[in-house]
Homo-oligomer: A and B are copies of this chain.
Amino acid sequence: MLARTCLVLALALALPAVAEEAKKAHTPTAKELLAKSTAAEWRTPDPQNLVYMDLPQGQVVIELAQDWSPEHAANIRTLIREHYFDGSQVIRVQDNFVTQWGDPDGDDKKKAKSLGSAKETLTPEFTRKLGGKAIPFTKLPDGDVYAPEVGFSEGFPVARDAKAGEAWIAHCYGTVGVARDVGAETGNGSSLYAIIGQAPRNLDRNLAVAGKVIKGMEFLAAYPRGGEPMGFYDKPEQRVTIKSVRLAADVPEAQRTPIQVLRTDSKTFAAVIEAKRNRKDDFYTRPAGKIDLCNISVPVRDPSKPVAP
């Protein structure tokens, strides 16, 4: 009974491998919709914006938000190309908040690893000015507690304030942000964090978003929480060491991780959202009829396989 229970429970988020239950469903599941998607509805991220972080447990793939924080993306590329992150560590895991990695001695000027030719400070890129520019935006229909409008822009969950003339990437599960000191310009990408719990939207517009984890969140979210305040590890040996961080563009094509992301301006993505808003089947007798920005995960697939894994 439990297996079936879980099977049904899992339908809530329209996850794969529910073919049997899906037949019963009155609304199509994400899996069924994705199976009918066209090749043109999927995009292959620019290898210049694709980061491979190899952890002992597996690989994390991050897509950099080039159009939202170009200076940060450039500095992170420099740090990666000079192998700054190789041997760096997961220094902090705070439950229902963030997993943060970087140089454990970063706060000790004497012991801190050199940033090489990367910049020490950057222009804050906390929001993106609209300024008449037509930024791709697929608006969600159910509103948001924090912003006037929310939706998706080229794969990223974004919030928009037309009056203020700005947009920004929301701190949803999997969003990768740039840790910084009190000064707005002190974030340089040498220490990054990934959101591993309920979206802390109060971080929005106060920190630069570097990008988003599109593969491997299951590793970043499952590390033991640190025993010190704010999730720092008590003992150095508790820190997980990052084997290497590479830019896909610097990896021979044959060795790159095959990955495609569903276009957030595609018909199939719109259908997936609608299916999640109004899932109605034998189990879900009361569909929510609504969906929050951070409850939508953008489908990712291995192009060699027909449907997202």
Copy number in the complex reads: 2
**Given A1-B107, A7-B230: A145 and B15 interface contact (C-beta under 8 Å):** no
What size tier do the contact residues of chain A reach? 35 or more
Q: Is A39 an interface residue (CB 8 A)?
A: no
A91 to chain B, nearest CB (A): 7
Q: Is A197 an interface residue (CB 8 A)?
A: yes
Q: Which residues of B contact A297 (CB under 8 A)?
A: 96
Q: Is the CB of A15 within 8 A of B288?
A: no
Instruction: Find the residue from A1, A206, A297 having the highest chain B CB count within 10 A.
Output: A1
Flag the segment in A44-52, A70-78, A214-222, A251-259 that touches B: A214-222
Q: Is the CB of A276 within 8 A of B202?
A: yes
Q: Compute how far the CA of A218 lies from the CA of B226 in the bound complex, rounded to whole angstroms.
A: 9
A174 to chain B, nearest CB (A): 8
Q: Compute how far the CA of A288 lies from the CA of B283 in the bound complex, rounded to whole angstroms.
A: 37
A76 to chain B, nearest CB (A): 16
Q: Which residues of B contact A218 (CB under 8 A)?
A: 95, 225
Give A184's nearest chain B residue, CB to CB.
B285
Dominant secondary structure of chain A at its interface with chain B:
loop
Q: Is the CB of B180 within 8 A of A5?
A: yes
Q: Using a CB-CB cutoff of 8 Å, which residues 1-31 of chain A contact chain B?
A: 1-10, 12-13, 15-18, 24
Q: Compute how far the CA of A94 lies from the CA of B9 in the bound complex, rounded to whole angstroms.
A: 11
Q: Compute how far the CA of A145 lies from the CA of B150 in the bound complex, rounded to whole angstroms.
A: 12
Contact with B along A102-136 (1 / 0, CB 8 A): 11101100001000000000000010000000000
Q: Which residues of B contact A222 (CB under 8 A)?
A: 93, 95, 222-225
Q: Which residues of A contact B (CB under 8 A)?
A: 1-10, 12-13, 15-18, 24, 91-98, 100, 102-104, 106-107, 112, 126, 142-146, 172-174, 179-182, 184, 186-187, 191, 193, 197-207, 217-218, 221-225, 229-232, 276, 279, 282-288, 290-292, 294-295, 297
> What are the nearest 7 A-B pairs in CB distance?
A17-B229, A2-B106, A10-B230, A218-B225, A202-B288, A3-B107, A95-B218
